[in-house]
Amino acid sequence: MMVHVPAYQDPGGTTRILRTTAAGAGLLFLAGLFLAPREAWSGYLMGFMLYVELALAGAFFLAILSLASARWATALRRIPEAMAGALPVGGLLGLVLLAGIHTLYEWAHPSVVAADPLLAGKAAYLNVGFFVLRLIAFFGLWILLSRRMVKASREQDTGDGRVGTRRMLRAAVCFVPVFAITFSLASVDWLKSLEPHWFSTIYGLITLSSLGSAGLAACLILAIHLRRGPLRTIIRDEHLDDLGKIGIGFALFWGYIWYCQYMLVWYTDMPEETPYYAIRSQGGWRILSHVNVAVNWAIPFFALMPRVVRRSSRYLLQIAYLMLAGQAINLFMLVGPSQMGAQPHLTLFGIAPVVGAVALFFLIVLRGLGAAPLVPGGDPHLSESLNYH
């Protein structure tokens, strides 16, 4: 079924605003390297991780939709495709992160490792050379496999749609297990190793739940943005309703995983685990912990329950912005205590990289939306998505 829709064009200077925001944040980060390097690199790590989660969420959603044969989402598929297209820039941001290894990670200092038996025992894995190699390998695999999925999807527009669908399914089958393993390892490398004396066997699920919530928020923002523009006759209330239901699921998943880890640490009371929550249960971190749970679980979970909210672009957009901000707070809780100590403090040098990373992500995605027809007209299931009830 061929559907002709206008090509994506920036309706009101959105890309100009995003470009200016990203450039300004980059300049503040550079200034921070000289004025407050630890705060600047901490903010950069949070921004980098949020950017990667958003981009990887696009590839992950694309794979899951293909594996589940989710025909209702066919008309929306260009959104996760464009999100996945931001991964190469994420790889470049990862290379920049390498310059901050010695500021962020204590295991990167040989003198510290030599004086610490626990770190010495982990040195075969936690060392600078292997860290760099893994980072390059992660992005290489993610970019390669996500491009295979996008290529198969785009082939539907020029060839036999059924053939493209089968190729996309095979690419999705390859992507999901590789993603599950590599993203778990990347989370340990980039975030958990900030506190290398702490042990956790559930950390990969914690960051996966964050990826799902942040990615769903980005999808909602982009879908509503397109619905107000070239896809106003394509994206229906039913599509928004289903995206809202998925948002309920991700909010519940995040809250469940957060509670599972906290409960396990609390009742086992093991000395290698409790310090992680001890610092997060005092002072300003305690307040932020409650805010974190409220913004990432309670508010979106209950706010998305009413059907009228899930079918309202205005309400959904507000909740999506809240969910995205919530994941920034969550990353601050994961990174901040290891860098700031007993009391949290926010500075412009720490906030700017996070804001800049989000602006850069949406800038790249909006440009990616113009690289192909906004609706995959060659997909044999498009008619079901367009007439979805």
Distance, C-alpha 54 to centroid of its chain: 3
Tell me: the pLDDT tens digits for 153-195? 888 777 666 776 788 889 999 999 999 999 999 999 999 999 9
Q: Cα–Cα distance between 168 and 150 in angstroms, integer?
A: 8
- Percentage of the chain exceeding pLDDT 70: 95
Write phi, then psi, for 168 (nearest 5 degrees).
Answer: -65, -40
Percentage of the residues of the chain whose pLDDT score is greater than 90: 73
Q: Are 232 and 225 in contact (CB under 8 A)?
A: no
Closest to 276 measured CA to CA, from 292, 264, 293, 290: 264
Mean pLDDT of the chain: 91
Long-range CB pairs of 149-153 (<8 Å, 24+ gap) are 149/59, 149/62, 149/63, 149/66, 149/81, 149/84, 149/175, 150/62, 150/81, 150/84, 150/85, 153/62, 153/77, 153/81, 153/376, 153/379
Q: What is the largest CA-CA distance in the chain?
A: 67
Enclosing H/E stretch for 271: none
Residue 263, number of CB atoms within 10 A of its CB: 10
Instruction: Please report which helix (H) or strand (E) contains residue 86, including its range.
Output: none
Of the pLDDT bands very low, low, confident and very high (cuts 50, 70, 90), residue 311 is very high
Q: Which of 268, 114, 94, 255 is nearest to 182 (CA)?
A: 94
Residue 382 forms part of a structural domain: no
Q: Cβ(164)–Cβ(183) under 8 Å?
A: no
> Is the model's pLDDT at 2 over the cut of 60?
no
pLDDT of residue 4: 62
Q: What is the pLDDT of residues 246-285, one digit of tens each?
A: 999 999 999 999 999 999 888 888 888 888 999 999 989 9
Q: What is the pLDDT of residue 363?
A: 95
Residue 7 binned pLDDT confidence (cut-offs 50, 70, 90):
low
369 domain-assigned: yes
Residue 309 lies in a domain: yes
Q: Are 289 and 258 in contact (CB under 8 A)?
A: no
How confident is the model over 6-11, as a mean pLDDT? 68
| Helix 161-190 and helix 128-155, axial crossing angle in degrees, nearest 10 | 160
For position 328, what pLDDT does the model report? 96
For residues 277, 324, 72, 315, the Cα torsion angle rounded to the nearest 10 degrees is 120
User: How many angstroms from the chain centroid is the CA of residue 94?
Assistant: 14
DSSP per-residue letters across 104-140? H-GGG-HHHHHT-HHHHHTTTTSSHHHHHHHHHHHHH
pLDDT of residue 6: 60
**Pair of tokens at residue 42:** 């901490």
In order, the DSSP letters of 200-249 are -SSHHHHHHHHHHHHHHHHHHHHHHHHHTTTTTTTS-HHHHHHHHHHHHH
d(CA 30, CA 101): 16
Q: What is the mean pLDDT of residues 49-75?
A: 93
Does the residue 1 lie in any domain? no
Mean pLDDT of 235-240: 91
Q: Predicted confidence band at 389 (pLDDT cuts at 50, 70, 90)?
A: low
Q: Is residue 343 pLDDT above 70, yes or no?
A: yes
pLDDT of residue 224: 95
pTM of the predicted structure, to 2 decimals:
0.95
Helical ranges in the chain per DSSP H: 14-35, 37-67, 78-84, 87-97, 101-104, 110-114, 117-121, 128-155, 161-190, 203-227, 237-268, 274-279, 283-293, 299-303, 307-310, 313-340, 348-369, 382-386
Quick check: 57 pLDDT over 60?
Answer: yes
The tens digit of pLDDT for each residue in 64-120 reads: 999 998 888 888 999 999 999 999 999 999 999 999 999 999 999 999 999 999 999
Is residue 41 a contact partner of residue 100, using CB atoms and an 8 Å limit? yes
Q: How far is CA 21 from the centre of its chain?
A: 19
Q: Which residue has the higher pLDDT, 164 or 48?
A: 48
Counted domains in the chain: 1
The predicted structure's pLDDT at residue 332: 96
Burial class (CB in 10 A: 0-12, 13-18, 19+), 85: buried
Q: Does the pLDDT value for residue 11 go beyond 70? A: no
Three-state DSSP class for residue 311:
coil
Domain for residue 333, yes or no?
Answer: yes
The domain in which residue 66 lies consists of 14-373
Cα separation, 250 vs 286, whole angstroms: 24
